[in-house]
Amino acid sequence: MKLLVCVSKTPDTTSRIAFSSDGAQFDANGVQYIMNPYDEWYALVRALELKEAHGGTVTLINVGTESNDQVIRKGLAIGADNAVRVNCDPQSSLYVAKQIAEYAGKENFDIVFCGKETIDYNSSEVGAMVAEFLDLPFVSFASKLEVSGQTATAARDIEGGTEMVEVDLPFVVSAAKGMAEQRIPNMQGIMMAKRKPLDVIDPVPFDELSTPVQYTLPPAKKTVQLFNADQMDELVRLLHEEAKVI
């Protein structure tokens, strides 16, 4: 099986989020970057498991600048065979998806994996966009994925439940919690990753149609009002009269 995993780089979950003084740019000073957890823990690991079970290759793709190579190498250390980086500084999901689709369209992958969303922009868009550009079926929010011959079955997380679906290869899938278990790269993997191919290719021209122009921090919470266990009637009254949520 020929598998492609889309990976992106995001600030670590505990990073302090700050912006330039005019609010126009994300302030990357002191920010620790990681591979987006949905890409790493679920999409990549499930792709590796499928390769181990059925044979084939796992390719990583990232759309970004050279500073992303560290995250890509981590993916190679976890077990991917090779990687491609489309060299540019994208501003929108559509631009990213276009670049991925350009590459994927030439390579005829059986399954294109991505995470269900990135933990920075939380948009959940790229998988659907890649699927549309490639005119492929899309299985979103998959928490399970099994492949047998040319057919895959998946469990999709939907509001208040699960949907079981069946689809023929090729298709695009977005990975949610449950699809696999995180793998920690070992020393051998890290050493081998250094020698695995990471090809850098140029982007195709494409317009940025939707871009973040202004960032702000949410208004600070007013300080908490404290109660003890014997003041619950008062708390309920405030939830009704002040917060108006009951």
- Which 6-35 positions form the footprint of ligand FAD (CB under 6 A)? 13
Side chain identity at 28, as an amino acid letter? A
User: Of 1, 88, 119, 201, which lies in the binding site for other proteins, with binding defined by CB under 8 A?
Assistant: 119
Q: Which lies closer to ligand FAD via its Cβ, residue 40 or residue 171? A: 40
| Site map (CB under 6 A) of ligand FAD, residues 98-137, x = contact | ----------------------------------------
Q: What is the DSSP letter of 81?
A: S
| Site map (CB under 6 A) of ligand FAD, residues 36-65, x = contact | -x----------------------------
Choose among other proteins, ligand FAD, none what residue 156 binds, the Cβ cut-off being 5 to 8 Å by kind: other proteins
CA dist 114 and 171 (Å) reads 11
Binding of residue 241 to other proteins (CB under 8 A): no
CA dist 165 and 179 (Å) reads 14
Choose among ligand FAD, other proteins, none what residue 184 binds, the Cβ cut-off being 5 to 8 Å by kind: none
Contact segment (CB under 8 A) with other proteins among 55-63, 77-85, 188-196, 228-236 equals 228-236
Q: Which two tokens stand for residue 143?
A: 């928490």
Across-strand partners of 64?
87
Best CA proximity match to 44, nearest among 97, 87, 72, 7: 7
Is the torsion defined by CA of 69, 71, 76, 82 positive or negative? Answer: negative
Largest CA distance in the chain: 68
95 sits in which H/E element? helix 93-107
Best CA proximity match to 20, nearest among 32, 11, 28, 10: 28
Binding of residue 233 to other proteins (CB under 8 A): yes
Binding of residue 228 to ligand FAD (CB under 6 A): no
Choose among ligand FAD, other proteins, none what residue 148 binds, the Cβ cut-off being 5 to 8 Å by kind: none
Binding of residue 225 to other proteins (CB under 8 A): yes
Contact segment (CB under 8 A) with other proteins among 50-58, 105-113, 192-200, 211-219 equals 211-219
Kindly give, in sequence order, each residue whose CB lies less than 8 Å from that of residue 5, ignoring residues fewer than 6 positions away. Answer: 39, 43, 44, 47, 58, 59, 60, 61, 75, 80, 112, 113, 114
Q: Note the residue count of the chain.
A: 246
Q: Which of residues 88-117 bind other proteins (CB under 8 A)?
A: 92-94, 97-98
Q: Which of residues 147-176 bind other proteins (CB under 8 A)?
A: 153, 156-168, 171
Residues near ligand FAD, by CB under 6 A: 13, 37
